[in-house]
């Protein structure tokens, strides 16, 4: 089971063998309401930690998705282009957005563990 | 919820249903229950129930001409047949829209004026100042209003209240006994679907809400779904698409202005007609699922040419739709726009209204 880490902006990353799967948390998906559009990056795009990686729109709002780690995009979840509602149904699993090849795993120290994120949500 | 915000009689019902609540027009209103998309779909396919108690209602009784009412609105009141209603505007001297509203002809000498929530108090003051006689009363606080909208709405009303609901034509209403009180049931709405607006004493509105929701074909819908529904059929939202700086000519709503009679703002509109309008409402469809939103810029050939006044993702069309204002020459069908806001950009093309015309409205 890959370990899962979170940002304060409610992105998650699951890390396994140098690859990070990235999405938004169940909490974020719920807050956004019905998701109507996901803009995914091109494969090969490089991002730094906390830079804009993707964009998401719901009936209520448009938001940027920030990359939890630095890396290069190696895979995108194309199913979201026609069915962005998958993010509402399964934000932390089938609703993943991007896989990146991680540049520097030491950046994980800037992220929250699942437990820390749960505590963080209680403070909001 | 601050102290200025008013609650409708159904507030605790919405909270029991775990609705997401937000202030709208000075009222604490349900934005959504299970979700905007699901509620929108329910209204297009079945029947959705909306709490619209926040809207304002006034009664005028007296001689329409001697009392001055005939000149108050952009349309004639005295020619509305009994049992019918008419949509139009309350204008200022410059022809700007103080509110859009509907007048119901209740009796030979009596009408009900139904106005938007945020503008209700000002509307009452303005109308009252233009009257020379008759009695004019604000009945908002004692009037409840529910909208039942959707292709199954007639069957639901038949099941609940019997045969008298069977044949109310579009923009006609009946006065009937419901739950032991007198109610107005009108074939009007804001969704593009077959539907009813029901006005009754506010102390009966919870009972009516509960009764209609007992029908399995009915689900509650919030103002979020209502906004998507109305924009798909191209209806204007007061405060976003039209306001005191916008005239009916600019907003493409000249059909609701009667130049054969007197009304406040007529001279301004006539001179605007003569000189030509400088900006005009335009509808556009986005090439993706992105949503244009209020205040996004409309760009043409690299220049900002206007701004978006309403925009949503349309579930019926599967793309973003919006309306805004630009120079009249840029409203030609097929004109390509780019809609911009900060990092967001989307391609769009000018299209006809309504965006969606498959509704059950007139069935």
Provide DSSP, B125-162. HHHHHH--SSEEEE-GGGEEEEEEESTTHHHHHHHHH-
Chain B residue closest in CA terms to A32:
B35
Sketch the domain layout of chain A as residue ranges. Answer: 3-122
Q: Which CATH number is A3-122's, of 3.40.190.10, 2.40.30.10, 2.40.50.100, 3.40.309.10?
A: 2.40.50.100
Cα nearest neighbour of B228 on chain A: A59
| B322 shares contact with chain A (CB less than 8 Å) | no
Size of interface A-B (CB pairs under 8 A): 44
Structure confidence at residue B2 (pLDDT)? 59
Q: B289 and chain A: CB distance < 8 Å anywhere?
A: yes
d(CA B229, CA A82): 21
* Collapsed DSSP state (helix, strand, coil) of residue B280: strand
Asked if residue B332 has pLDDT above 80, the reply is yes
Q: Which residue in the set B35, B291, B343 is minimally distant from A33, CB to CB?
A: B35
Residues B305-331 as b/e (b if ≥16 CB within 10 A, e otherwise) read: bbbbbbbbbbbbeebbbbbbbbeeebb
CA atoms within 13 A on the CB side of B190: 26
The residues near A62 (Cβ < 8 Å, ≥ 6 apart) are A55, A56, B290, B291, B293, B341, B344
- Rounded mean pLDDT of chain B? 97
Burial of B213 (0-12, 13-18, 19+ CB in 10 A): middle
Contact B313 A37 (CB under 8 A): yes
* Averaged pLDDT for residues A79-83: 95
A19-78: pLDDT as tens digits: 999 999 999 999 999 999 999 999 999 999 999 999 999 998 999 999 999 999 999 999
Instruction: Work out the minimum CA distance from A79 to partner chain B, whole angstroms.
Output: 14
Angle at B50 between CA B44 and CA B53, to 5 degrees: 155
What pLDDT, on a 0 to 100 scale, did the predictor assign at position B362? 82
pLDDT digits (tens, 9 = 90+) for A87-114: 999 999 999 999 999 999 999 999 999 9
Q: CA of B93: how far to CAs of B130, B245, B249, B268, in Å?
A: 12, 11, 14, 7
User: Contact A33/B36, CB-based, under 8 Å?
Assistant: yes
* A-chain residues near B320 (CB < 8 A): 37
Q: Who's near B345: CB < 8 A, 6+ residues apart?
A: B338, B339
Partners of residue A36 in chain B, C-beta under 8 Å:
37, 289, 291, 313
Q: How confident is the model at residue B167, as a pLDDT? A: 85
Tokens 């703002």 correspond to B265
- The number of C-alpha atoms within 13 Å of A84 and in the hemisphere containing its C-beta is 26
Q: Is B142 on the interface with A (CB under 8 A)?
A: no
Contact status, residue A80 vs residue A17, Cβ threshold 8 Å? no
pLDDT of the residue at B166: 87
What sign results for the dihedral spanned by CA atoms B241, B246, B251, B255?
A: positive
Q: Spell out which residues of chain A touch residue B224, defining contact as CB-CB under 8 Å.
A: 33, 59-60
Q: How far is CA A9 from CA A27, A59, A87, B2, B71, in A?
A: 11, 19, 16, 28, 56
Q: Residue B363 — pLDDT band, cuts 50, 70, 90?
A: confident
C-alpha dihedral, B2 to B53 to B77 to B262, nearest 10°: 20
Percent of chain B with pLDDT over 70: 99
Residues of B in contact with A33 (CB under 8 A): 20, 32, 35-36, 224
| Overall average pLDDT of the B321-342 stretch | 98
Judged by a CB distance cut-off of 8 A, whether residue B317 touches chain A is no
**Residue A92 to chain B, least CA–CA distance (Å):** 20
Looking at this predicted complex, what is its ipTM?
0.87
CB < 8 Å to B313, chain A:
36-37, 57, 59
Give the CA angle between residues B310, B316, B319 to the nearest 5°.
60
Domains identified in chain B and CATH numbers = 6-52+141-232 (3.30.1360.120), 278-363 (2.40.30.110)
Instruction: Please tell me which of the candidates A59, A64, A84 has its beta carbon nearest to residue B312.
Output: A59
B257-272 pLDDT, tens digit each: 999 999 999 999 999 9
Q: Write out pLDDT tens, residues B91-123.
A: 999 999 999 999 999 999 999 999 999 999 999
Of the candidates B149, B147, B154, which has an alpha carbon nearest to the alpha carbon of residue B44? Answer: B149
Distance (Å, rounded) from C-alpha B53 to C-alpha B112? 15
A55 contacts chain B (CB < 8 A)? yes
Burial status of residue B98 (CB atoms within 10 A of its CB: 0-12, 13-18, 19 or more): buried
- Pairing relationship of beta strands B173-178 and B336-341 according to DSSP bridges: unpaired
Tell me: pLDDT of B209 over 90. yes
């Amino acid at each position: 089971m890959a370990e899962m880490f979170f940002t304060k902006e409610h992105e998650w990353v699951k890390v396994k063998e140098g690859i990070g799967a990235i999405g938004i948390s169940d909490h974020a998906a719920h807050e956004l309401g019905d998701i109507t559009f996901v803009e995914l990056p091109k494969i090969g795009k490089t991002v730094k930690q906390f830079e804009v990686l993707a964009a998401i729109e719901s009936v209520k709002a448009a938001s940027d998705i920030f990359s939890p780690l630095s890396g290069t995009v190696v895979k995108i979840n194309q199913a979201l282009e026609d069915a962005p509602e998958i993010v509402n149904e399964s934000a932390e699993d089938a609703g993943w957005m991007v896989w990146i090849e991680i540049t520097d795993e030491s950046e994980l120290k800037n992220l929250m563990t699942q437990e820390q994120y749960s505590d963080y949500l209680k403070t909001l | 919820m601050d102290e200025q915000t008013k609650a409708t009689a159904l507030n605790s019902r919405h909270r029991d249903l775990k609705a997401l609540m937000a202030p709208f027009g000075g009222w604490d209103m349900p934005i959504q229950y299970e979700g905007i998309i699901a509620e929108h779909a329910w209204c297009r396919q079945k029947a959705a129930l909306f709490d619209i108690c926040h809207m304002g209602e006034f009664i005028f009784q007296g001689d329409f001409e001697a009392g001055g009412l005939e000149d108050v609105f952009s349309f004639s009141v005295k020619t509305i047949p009994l049992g019918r209603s008419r949509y139009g505007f309350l204008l200022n001297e410059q022809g700007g829209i103080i509110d859009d509203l509907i007048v119901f002809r209740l009796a030979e000498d009596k009408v009900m004026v139904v106005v938007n929530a945020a503008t209700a108090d000002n509307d009452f003051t303005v109308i009252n100042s233009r009257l020379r006689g008759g009695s004019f009363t604000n009945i908002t606080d004692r009037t409840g209003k529910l909208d039942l909208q959707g292709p199954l709405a007639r069957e639901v009303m038949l099941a609940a209240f019997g045969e008298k609901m069977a044949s109310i034509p579009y923009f006609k209403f009946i006065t009937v006994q419901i739950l032991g009180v007198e109610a107005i049931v009108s074939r009007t709405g804001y969704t593009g679907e077959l539907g009813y607006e029901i006005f009754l004493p506010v102390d009966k509105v919870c009972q009516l809400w509960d009764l209609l929701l007992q029908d399995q074909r009915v689900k509650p819908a919030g103002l979020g779904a209502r906004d998507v529904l109305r924009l798909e059929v191209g209806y204007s939202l007061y405060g976003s698409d039209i306001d005191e700086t916008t005239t009916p000519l600019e907003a493409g709503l000249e059909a609701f202005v009667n130049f054969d009679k007197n009304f406040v703002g007529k001279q301004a509109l006539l001179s605007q007609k003569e000189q030509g309008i400088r900006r005009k409402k335009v509808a556009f469809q986005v090439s993706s699922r992105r949503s244009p939103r209020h205040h996004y810029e409309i760009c043409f050939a690299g220049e900002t040419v206007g701004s978006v006044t309403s925009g949503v993702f349309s579930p019926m069309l599967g793309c973003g739709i919006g309306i805004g204002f630009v120079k009249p020459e840029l409203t030609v069908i097929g004109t390509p726009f780019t809609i911009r806001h900060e990092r967001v950009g989307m391609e769009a093309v000018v299209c006809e209204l309504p965006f969606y015309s498959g509704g059950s409205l007139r069935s």
